[in-house]
Chain A
Amino acid sequence: DVVLTQTPVSLSVTLGDQASISCRSSQSLEYSDGYTYLEWYLQKPGQSPQLLIYGVSNRFSGVPDRFIGSGSGTDFTLKISRVEPEDLGVYYCFQATHDPNTFGAGTKLELK
């Protein structure tokens, strides 16, 4: 199975700071069709997860442009510029390139 390693496990930030989360895969996530099925989700406290980024760098409908996904192959990053209170929660990366699909273990973003 593909293992997604997220770092850091937790991240303490001040509102307005930038935050960066890494997701490293044990195998390349580029599919044979050339697409990379790497997504990012945010689970706010007490809520269902919500899609932020798909295809490495495409923001989902309604996601603010302070969320920026990047990377290729096995190395991916989610950057959040100017963290706001509604950004707090647990971030997960997810790959749907390989079967079985897998999630990273999560990164908790909290206030300092």
Chain B
Amino acid sequence: EVQLVESGGGLVQPGRSLKLSCAASGFTFSDYNMAWVRQAPKKGLEWVATISYDGSSTYYRDSVKGRFTISRDNAKSTLYLQMDSLRSEDTATYYCASQYWGQGVMVTVSS
């Protein structure tokens, strides 16, 4: 059974950092590009970043470029999102996604 389990979310003050993790199982993680997608409360889906299957290429939406870093450890079947200089508009549920999606992890940026 395919599972993507996100962790690392929580309440953080503006300007601080947070690192999300996504542990994958049930499929060959290293074969797939992976992405982070977020959803602000009561809003639609917003693509955040993608990393290629081997980690050699990364892509970001403009609003997070220079602040967020997507990475992966294929030996551990784990995807990461390092989020620095967080802003209130980054408040959302963050999903780890390939063909399957995790259950999401909430990130709240507030003082």
Residues in chain A within 8 A of chain B (CB atoms) = 41, 43, 48-51, 54, 60, 90, 92, 94, 96, 99-106
Contacts and interface: CB of A to CB of B under 8 A. Distances in A.
A90 B42 CA distance: 12
A103 B44 contact: yes
Contacts, number: 45
B50 A101 contact: yes
B88 to A, nearest CB: 21
Could you say which interface size class chain B belongs to?
10 to 19
B45 A51 contact: no
Contact of B104 (A48, A50, A60, A99): A48
B27 to A, nearest CB: 11
Interface in B28-48: 35, 37, 44-47
A69 B55 CA distance: 31
B45 A49 contact: yes
Given A100-B60, A101-B47, A103-B37, 13 more contacts: A48-B101, A49-B37, A50-B100, A50-B101, A60-B99, A92-B44, A92-B45, A96-B50, A100-B47, A100-B59, A103-B45, A103-B47, A106-B44
A48 B47 CA distance: 14
